[in-house]
Amino acid sequence: MSTCIEQIQTIFSQVLYREVQSPQADLFESGLLDSMSLIELLFSLEQQFGFQPDISDLDLDQFRSIETIAHLVESSTTRKAS
């Protein structure tokens, strides 16, 4: 499991107080992520990874699971480093 996935799981458990059973679990269908927790998650991702997305470019499907969030964060931070 990637470090990014583990760090995002930690954000869910320690910041959002939600236990996600699997990095592939659908966060919206399971009720683990809603509009308020999404804002809190974005703030935490910015603090943890320096992730500052352009809100107009975001798609909710990018936040469907911890795995997709990790991919988004990793691709964003890779682009910044280039």
CATH number of domain containing 33: 1.10.1200.10
3-state helix, strand, coil in the chain (%, to 5): 60, 0, 40
The domain containing residue 40 runs over which residues?
Answer: 3-81
pTM of the model: 0.89
Q: Tokens in use for 82? A: 């280039």
Q: Which amino acid is at 11?
A: I
| Total domain count, the chain | 1
Q: Encode pLDDT of 13-64 as tens digits.
A: 999 999 999 999 999 999 999 999 999 999 999 999 999 888 888 899 999 9
